[in-house]
Structure 1
Amino acid sequence: MAPRANWKGFLRLSLVTCPVALYPATSESEKISFNQLNRATGHRIKYLKVDADTGEEVPNEDIVKGYELDKGQYIEVTKEELENVALESTRTIEIDEFVDRSEIDPRYLIRPYYLRPDGKVGHDAFAVIREAIREMDKVAIGRVVLTNREHIIALEPLDKGLMGTLLRYPYEVRDPKEYFDEIQDVKVTKDMLDLARHIVDQKSGSFEPDKFEDQYETALIGLINQKRAGKPIVPKDRPKGENVVDLMDALRKSVGGAAAMTEAPKKSAKKAAKLAAGQKEMLMPIAGKKPTKEAAAKKPTAGARRKSA
């Protein structure tokens, strides 16, 4: 079953309109998460919304949004007033223009969504819009309101649907000069560049997400399994950084190392593919106890998988 839609409304290209629903394309619910506990009692920590001056708890119905004009001075804005800021994009994604995908700077990309027809009507209009974008090999740019904010959204065909990627506004992207201006201008010699290119050639391949393992998630699962089984936790030695004295020597050694790594990648790729399928590696039962068929099919316990407080 598909998750609940984050947004429902209409997709419009000129006079062609169809009802659509927007769904999150990614999920992090499979990742290990922790609760905060009171070390002394083992009980969960609970957060309360309290008045900063009186210290008294405030019920949700008495909490309103406020914009701070000056220190301690706020303008209150009610939910009804926010809803009255009626933008067309609140209910309709109007396609404003079409651009080449290569023109969209990766820094502007936020997160992907899936867009599909909502209900049994409008499939014809949706298909016309989708195939027009596909035929022209363009990305459609529109606007949509999510979480009380208007976002730019880039739409492109994906199978039978559309993928919509939220984009940042220019004021949200920091100027790289603030970070890069102090980088020294270094002249790279031809010999160094040739060696570096050789390393790149040896490591070149195709991007296959299934090859990658979330090593931190796997390590967390191992840690929890060890603690459940009552095994001692032995700290691992942290890798030590080494100062590069001779860059040419380091490049030459890297060439040899890259060659060795490319000789037998199949075994590690197979292992990574096995673990990477949605990171569904389960928390194992305590050693010595046989798992039931039901327990083997279940996900990790709620205590270990619950979201952080």
Structure 2
Amino acid sequence: MAPRANWKGFLRLSLVTCPVALYPATSESEKISFNQLNRQTGHRIKYVKVDADTGDEVPNEDIVKGYELEKGQYIEVSKEELEEIALESTRTIEIDEFVDRSDIDPRYLIRPYYIRPDGKVGHDAFAVIRETIREMDKVAIGRVVLTNREHIIALEPMDKGLVGTLLRYPYEVRSEQEYFDEIQDVKVTKDMLDLARHIVNQKAGRFQPEKFEDHYETALIALINEKRAGKVIRPKERPKGENVVDLMEALRRSVGKEAGKEAAPAKADKPAKKPRKAAAGQKEMLMPIAGKKAAAAKETSAKKPAAGARRKSA
């Protein structure tokens, strides 16, 4: 089933308009997630919304938003009043300007979305806007309302569609000065830079996301599978950091270490293939975990025993 659109409306460049739909370009659903349990009973913890003073549970229909003016003094704002804030960007992404990609500070990036034409009409207008952005080699900047907030959105062509990246406002980005002011001014010698540059050249490559494996996710899967199998979990020794006493010596040793990697036999490259499969879907690794999509088809009959084993070994 195709994913559900997070937003539907119109994309407009001056007088050129087309209906579009916006979809999340990333997902966290593949990651392991945990429920909170009562250690004594093994039952799930349930959260309820209660009145802070009376302690009584409050049904959703009686809950309204409030802005705190002073301690304990609020201005109530209803859902209907919020909907009355009729911004143009609620239904239309208006392209305001075009900028160079290098002009956008990475600190302003929030999350990406895919944008495509909505329905069978408007594909021509969408293509004109997309190819104009591509031809100019620019990023289109507009505004869109998502989750009751107006966001800046940066639009770039990708294949036959567009990628829209939400951007932060300046007031949301902290100044670096309060963090960097106390960093000492250090004179870096040419010899140090030459050695460090040599290390960089030895490690140079192209960014290929499929080469990277989420090691923590892999370790979580291994931990859960070990507990399901009834194994005793023993603490592992944590890696220890080392203080660098002689920086030049550390740099020289690093150069030798990286050179040794380059000279290693070809078999050292083979394990890289394994993480590629894992990166495509971490849940395929080791034993399937009950409750995950990939496991549903294979372990329908094993669901009850798995739940029992989990509670027993917890």
Query: What TM-score, normalized by structure 1, do the two folds share?
Result: 0.92
The farther-off stretch of 275-284 and 65-74 is 275-284
1:295 aligns with 2:293: no
Q: Secondary structure at the match of 2:260?
A: helix
* Superposition deviation, residue 44 in structure 1: 0.1
- 1:82 match: 82
1:217 aligns with 2:229: no
The farther-off stretch of 268-277 and 172-181 is 268-277
* Superposition deviation, residue 130 in structure 1: 0.5
**C-alpha distance in 1, partners of 2:38/2:101?**
50
**C-alpha distance in 1, partners of 2:81/2:235?**
55
**C-alpha distance in 1, partners of 2:144/2:30?**
28
* Offset from partner CA, 1:173-205 (integer Å, 9 cap, x none): 100000000000000111111111111111111
Question: AA paired with 2:169?
Answer: Y
* Superposition deviation, residue 235 in structure 1: 1.1
Q: Secondary structure at the match of 1:36?
A: coil
- 1:267 match: 270
- 2:5 match: 5
Q: For structure 1, list consecutive stretches of 5 or more residues without a partner in the other structure.
A: 287-291, 305-309
1:228-267 matched pairs, under 5 angstroms: 228-264=228-264, 266-267=269-270
**C-alpha distance in 2, partners of 1:132/1:143?**
19
Q: Given the superposition, is the C-alpha separation of residues 258 and 297 from structure 1 closer, same or farther in structure 2, using an over 3 Å criterion?
A: farther
* Offset from partner CA, 1:44-84 (integer Å, 9 cap, x none): 00000000000000000000000000000000000000000
- 1:126 match: 126
Percent of matched pairs sharing the same residue = 83
- 1:289 match: none
1:276 aligns with 2:285: no
**C-alpha distance in 2, partners of 1:283/1:121?**
46
- 1:226 match: 226
The structure showing larger relative contact order (alpha-carbon pairs under 8 Å, at least 6 residues apart) is 1
Contact 2:218 2:285 in 1 (8 A): no
* Superposition deviation, residue 234 in structure 1: 1.5
- 2:41 match: 41
* Superposition deviation, residue 282 in structure 1: 4.1
**C-alpha distance in 2, partners of 1:129/1:293?**
43
Question: AA paired with 1:179?
Answer: Y
User: What count of residue pairs does the alignment treat as equivalent?
Assistant: 298
* Superposition deviation, residue 229 in structure 1: 0.2
* Superposition deviation, residue 294 in structure 1: 4.3
**C-alpha distance in 1, partners of 2:296/2:111?**
38
**C-alpha distance in 2, partners of 1:198/1:7?**
48
Question: AA paired with 2:68?
Answer: E
**C-alpha distance in 1, partners of 2:272/2:86?**
51
Q: For structure 2, list consecutive stretches of 5 or more residues without a partner in the other structure.
A: 290-294, 310-314
Contact 2:151 2:168 in 1 (8 A): yes
- 1:307 match: none
**C-alpha distance in 2, partners of 1:60/1:210?**
43
The farther-off stretch of 243-252 and 89-98 is 243-252
- 1:60 match: 60
* Offset from partner CA, 1:88-115 (integer Å, 9 cap, x none): 0000000001111111111110000000
- 2:175 match: 175
Contact 1:224 1:283 in 2 (8 A): no
* Offset from partner CA, 1:210-236 (integer Å, 9 cap, x none): 100000000000000000000111211
**C-alpha distance in 2, partners of 1:137/1:45?**
52
**C-alpha distance in 1, partners of 2:74/2:110?**
30
* Superposition deviation, residue 262 in structure 1: 3.1
**C-alpha distance in 2, partners of 1:22/1:166?**
12
**C-alpha distance in 1, partners of 2:207/2:5?**
30
Contact 2:22 2:115 in 1 (8 A): yes
Contact 2:8 2:19 in 1 (8 A): yes
Query: What TM-score, normalized by structure 2, do the two folds share?
Result: 0.90
1:178-189 matched pairs, under 5 angstroms: 178-189=178-189
Question: AA paired with 1:220?
Answer: L
Contact 2:66 2:77 in 1 (8 A): yes
- 1:147 match: 147
